[in-house]
Amino acid sequence: MALVRKIIPQSTVDGPGNRTAVFLQGCNIRCAYCHNPETQAIHDAEAREMSVEEVMAEVRKGIPFIRGITVSGGECMLQAAFLTELFAAVRGLSVETGHPLTCLIDSNGTIPFAHHPELMAYCDGVMLDVKAWDADVYHRLTLSPDNEVVKENLRWLLQHDKLTEVRIVCLPQQAVVTTDVADNLRHIADVFAEAGKRVPVRLLRFRPYGVVGELADTPSTSDTEMSDYASLAQSLGLF
């Protein structure tokens, strides 16, 4: 069983193609820019306990229109055992129907993927949030003590060809909490160079919708800043 916040039967923004997106309840960090703060609590009256079979009944409805499923959160890796069973069931459904379905994870990267070999055998890829490279910046942003596991995950997923994309939320430089996107991009480029592999890096514009707390009144990141980050990413060979 897992605590499910919501299921979007067909989403076009949660990975490649049309996908069933499953959002699990509960997160282990507290990002200042979180636009789904209602998913953070480990238990919430709005979330529903669902079995693998119940989630699979929703996935079945999407065939033949979906290319697979994406599980997000909160932080879905907090319920890794459920993910393993769910992805195994999706694999089984692919075989049964002859309609190939892929299984993706959208994660904040705070739980080591290397510790979950069975899950990773079923998982086709991870969309990894690399929120900030500098540990102090990361701590200020997320209240998490450090981001070493995120960095290890970045390297491990790349090495094992399980990294689908890296995501960075870009905050305005004048915001009371910033993310130092340039520093983050340079370090990610170094990791790609060391591995001799690269995946798409997606720069996401901060928007205040749904955000609570100290960034609630911060304006969206400007076009100029976003285009500066895009130029830097391009010059580093990340696009």
Give CA separation, 123 vs 23, 65, 181, 224, in Å. 16, 20, 28, 37
Rule CB under 6 A: say whether 218 interacts with ligand SF4.
Answer: no
Is the distance from CB of 34 to CB of 211 less than 8 angstroms?
yes
Q: Does 214 bind ligand SF4 (CB under 6 A)?
A: no
Rounded (to 5) percent helix, strand, coil in the chain: 40, 20, 40
Query: With respect to ligand SF4, which residue has the nearer C-beta, 106 or 225?
Result: 106
Judged by CB under 6 A, the residue of 62, 68, 73, 109 near ligand SF4 is: 73
| 191 touches 176 (CB < 8 A) | no
Residue 39 binds ligand SF4, judged by CB under 6 A: yes
- Which residue, 5 or 19, is less far from ligand SF4 as judged by CB? 5
Please report whether residue 25 would count as binding ligand SF4 according to CB under 6 A.
no
31 versus 71: smaller Cβ distance to ligand SF4 = 31
DSSP bridge partners of 163: 126
Q: According to CB under 6 A, which one of 22, 34, 66, 201 is a site residue for ligand SF4? A: 34
- Per CB under 6 A, 76 contacts ligand SF4: no
CB atoms inside a 10 Å sphere around CB 233: 21
**Token pair 């990975």 in the structure block, residue:** 15
Distance CA 175, CA 167 (A): 19
Burial class (CB in 10 A: 0-12, 13-18, 19+), 164: buried
Q: Of 6, 16, 18, 36, which one interacts with ligand SF4 (CB under 6 A)?
A: 36
Residue of the chain from 75, 85, 124, 225 that contacts ligand SF4 (CB under 6 A)? 75
Stretch that binds ligand SF4, among 67-75, 80-88, 94-102, 151-159 (CB under 6 A): 67-75
Quick check: 31 binds ligand SF4 (CB under 6 A)?
yes
Residues that bind ligand SF4 (CB under 6 A): 27, 29-31, 34, 36, 39-40, 73-75, 108
